[in-house]
Amino acid sequence: MNVLIIYYSTNGSTKKMARLIARGVEMVDGVTSVIRTVTDISSNNIKNADVVVDKSDLNECKGIIIGSPTHFGNMAASMKAFIDTTTAEWFNGSLTGKPAGVFTSTSSMHGGQESTLLSMMLPLLHHGAIITGVPYSEKKLNSTLRGGTPYGPSHVSFNSDEEITDDEKEICISFGKRIATLTKKLSQ
């Protein structure tokens, strides 16, 4: 069974987070991660080697995680453009009952992380997915000085000048493991 991780990344931080979350998913026996990106609608160009998501990926996954940088307190237009094409999957219940979560990165402190995470949850709720976040039992939520929220992992890059902190990394990994564990339990 697999957990689908779909991301869009402008400067690389969200892509790095997707990889860390995938590492956490892979820690759970019997669960694999599938990483996909979305088409960059501003250039119709893919800036990396990751495969572009296909809507069939939604049917095949047993859990889903989506990530986007924050653009004006919301998900990036490229992620929203992909989500807006999933009406048939919504009608068919492709994500109904599947564990789901979200993650984000921002260039600045207080750049809209939580509103972005919440905006990405809305279509997942419409799809009937089961939303999960990061519980406060994850100790790094209490020690992080930049990113990390109970709504999902986050990172503050300060305009790409800062790498993902150790706390942010641990939150990403534990989040991936959490979603994979729930995916495995709900698939049995």
**Low-confidence residues of the chain: pLDDT under 50:** none
3-state SS record for the chain: CEEEEEECCCCCHHHHHHHHHHHHHCCCCCCEEEEEECCECCCCECCCCCCECCHHHHHHCCEEEEEEEEECCEECHHHHHHHCCCHHHHHHCCCCCCEEEEEEEECCCCCCHHHHHHHHHHHHHHCCCEECCCCCCCCHHHHCCCCCECCECEEECCCCCCCCCHHHHHHHHHHHHHHHHHHHHHHC
Q: In CATH, what number is assigned to the domain containing residue 171?
A: 3.40.50.360
Q: Kindly state whether residue 4 falls inside one of the protein's structural domains.
A: no
Express each pLDDT in 123-159 by its tens digit.
Answer: 999 999 999 999 999 998 888 878 888 999 999 987 6
Predicted pLDDT at 161: 65
Domain of residue 14: give its range. 9-187
**Domain assignment of residue 3, yes or no:** no
Q: How many domains does the chain have?
A: 1
Give the pLDDT score at 50. 82
In-domain check, residue 61: yes
What integer pLDDT is reported at residue 162 of this predicted model? 77
Q: Quick check: is 1 in a domain?
A: no
Instruction: Give the pLDDT score at 178.
Output: 97
